[in-house]
Amino acid sequence: MPEPSRALPQPTPETQHFWDGTREGELRLQRCDGCGKAYFPPRPFCASCGSRKVSVFKASGKGTLWSYVIHHRPVAGFTPPYAIAVVQLAEGPRMMSNIVECAQTPEALQLDMPLEVVFEKQNDSITLPLFRPAKG
Ligand SMILES: [Zn+2]
């Protein structure tokens, strides 16, 4: 029997640029043209100042491990234990993701450890941004 696949996000008009980016190997964030703040998740206005003048830009893909929880129960598409992590991106916003190429243990998952994005294609429309320990 094939493994049940993980639940995937559905692109919306507001998030399409993000999924177009991951498919092309780019992590795209938005930045307010008014106050300069970078933000995520995608939305058509700045949550800080309310400006609707916002731009999409390519992020570095660098970040650090902000926090995480380790799940021990099986969920479709995941083999426990696995960590659900919050990554502090270098540009400022935080993003929920998974940490790959790393043991899913508190010993291996050190807070503030440097991470870098990797892209994992799920299907023709969705490529997920995941993070692995930065390789220098
Ligand atoms: Zn703003």
Q: Are 39 and 28 in contact (CB under 8 A)?
A: no
User: What DSSP designation does 75 have?
Assistant: B
Contact 51, 32 (CB under 8 A): yes
Å from CA of 45 to ligand 1 middle: 8
- Give distance in angstroms: CA of 35 to centre of ligand 1: 4
Distance 94 CA to ligand 1 centre (A): 17
Per-residue pLDDT of the chain (136 residues), as tens digits, is: 555 678 899 999 999 999 999 999 999 999 999 999 999 999 999 989 999 999 999 999 999 999 999 999 888 888 889 999 999 999 999 999 999 999 999 999 999 999 999 999 999 999 999 999 998 6
CA of 58 to the centre of ligand 1 (A): 18
Dist CA 44 CA 97 (whole Å): 22
- Quote the pTM value: 0.92
22 CA → ligand 1 middle, Å: 24
- Taking the centre of ligand 1 as the mean of its atom positions, its distance from the CA of residue 118, in whole angstroms, is 29
